[in-house]
Amino acid sequence: MGVLDLSLSSAPQLASYIRTSLRLIHFSGLVLGLGGAVFLDLMLSRYRRMVVTAELVGHVEWISRFIAAGLLLLWASGLGFLLLYQMTEPEKLLNPKIWAKVTIVSILTVNGLAVHRFVIPFIRRQIGSALLSEIKPVTKTALIGCGVISLVSWSVPVIIGAAPQLNFVVPCGIILGGYAVLLVQAFFIATLVMRDRSKRCAGITA
């Protein structure tokens, strides 16, 4: 009986330690992923008209590993939180914000696979020429889309996590709708920024 009482009394404390550990892992994943995504997007935007070198490709692959590690930590901590809630606070699983974050991280994962499968090999093939020189419009659009999805999808979970006012109040569909609007706006801005200088000048002259 004494052993049982001890285990029951220590359960909340153990759950608290686990929760703190998961938060640290989650925060580390966000720092790695968001920091890497922002740095990578800024770097590629700056060097879009410069000749791609093997060194630049090496930097891209190196940063991508940090982003992948951040995504792995995000999934590990996220699944850990879901399991912890199921065991200690199952009512929290009814929070729409949680499932909105799961959906966004799933989109981020698919985009990450696309980056490693298509974007990085494309950059590697551009060694010796400008990053965006002589590429098809659909290819350029896909590259911009991957960058936008990465940056927005890393940023939105941070915003959602920092807004406790959304808990049990805002439906999952509304959150994802706002996320979609941000994606469209960011894509539009990125497309304008990445336009060729000659086309921008022609548009201004017209």
| CB-based contact 30:162 (threshold 8 Å) | no
Handedness of CA 100, 101, 102, 107 (dihedral sign): positive
What is the per-residue pLDDT for 16? Answer: 86
Structure tokens at 141: 């659009």
Q: Is residue 86, in this structure, part of any structural domain at all? A: yes
Domain span including residue 14: 7-205
- Say how far residue 12 (Cα) sits from the centre of its chain: 32
The domain tally of the chain equals 1
pLDDT in tens, 132-142: 777 888 888 99
Q: Is residue 108, in this structure, part of any structural domain at all? A: yes
The span from the CA of 42 to the CA of 64, in Å, is 13
Q: Is residue 128, in this structure, part of any structural domain at all? A: yes
| Partners of residue 52 on adjacent β-strands | 127
Is pLDDT above 50 for 4? no
Q: Is residue 162, in this structure, part of any structural domain at all? A: yes
* pLDDT band of 3, cuts 50, 70, 90: very low
